[in-house]
């Protein structure tokens, strides 16, 4: 598998994991405090080849993703579920711990993030679906993130992520139906 986009990762170990999975170029942010030089590289990469952001499924990874989204519009975003990014001895979470197949799957499922979306899924829809508040809400959000390939989000971030990825009401309703059927 060869992709034309440049993949933005957090560090050298992530680059090594990407190279094991496929033939691709990377830009390393070297942590969550991304400097201007790195942002400029990502901007140039976005203009010339396109960018896929693949950060760790943790708070610093989300912080990096948000910084890039704000400063370099139009990038694609790929997600690896936390359970597939845990070190085999439980020592840390990161892209570097994911298998080559999981990395390839995440990159194949990369999405564009958008700020504006007309077909609004409301906060009330999330509450009605049992995704915010109440027993099992976190587990349902995890399942929803997997089904829609948008990664896990907490209750506050879920609505924002659904909007950014332009998840349709129909796709949302279908995913919720699958989750509720699994519970029964």
| Same-domain check for residues 93 and 133 | no
Residues 105 and 127 in one domain: no
CB atoms within 10 A of CB 70: 10
Based on the fold, state whether residues 51 and 100 are members of the same structural domain: yes
- Residue 81 falls within a domain, yes or no? yes
In terms of domains, do 135 and 103 share one? no
Q: What is the mean pLDDT of residues 19-25?
A: 95
Question: Are residues 19 and 72 located together in one domain of the fold?
Answer: yes
pTM exceeds 0.75 for this model: no
Number of domains in the chain: 2
State whether 97 and 133 are in the same domain: no
Residue 161's domain comprises 123-183
DSSP string, 132-181: SSSTTHHHHHHHHHHHHTS----HHHHHHHHHHTT--HHHHHHHHHHHHH
Using one digit for the tens of pLDDT, what is the confidence trace for 35-91? 999 999 999 999 999 999 999 988 899 889 989 989 998 999 999 988 888 887 777
Residue 174 lies in a domain: yes
């Amino acid at each position: 598998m060869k992709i034309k986009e440049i993949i933005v990762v957090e560090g050298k170990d992530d680059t090594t994991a990407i190279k094991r999975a496929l033939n691709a170029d990377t830009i390393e942010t070297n942590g969550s405090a991304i400097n201007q030089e790195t942002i400029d590289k990502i901007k140039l990469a976005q203009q010339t080849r396109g960018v896929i952001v693949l950060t760790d499924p943790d708070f610093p990874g989300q912080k990096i993703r948000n910084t890039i989204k704000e400063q370099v519009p139009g990038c694609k975003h790929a997600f690896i579920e936390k359970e597939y990014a845990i070190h085999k001895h439980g020592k840390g979470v990161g892209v570097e711990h994911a298998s080559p197949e999981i990395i390839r799957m995440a990159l194949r499922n990369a999405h564009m993030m958008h700020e504006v979306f007309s077909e609004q899924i409301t906060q009330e829809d999330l509450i009605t679906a049992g995704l915010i508040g109440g027993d099992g809400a976190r587990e349902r959000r995890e399942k929803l993130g997997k089904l829609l390939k948008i990664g896990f989000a907490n209750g506050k971030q879920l609505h924002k992520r659904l909007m950014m990825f332009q998840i349709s009401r129909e796709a949302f309703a279908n995913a919720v139906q699958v989750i509720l059927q699994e519970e029964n």
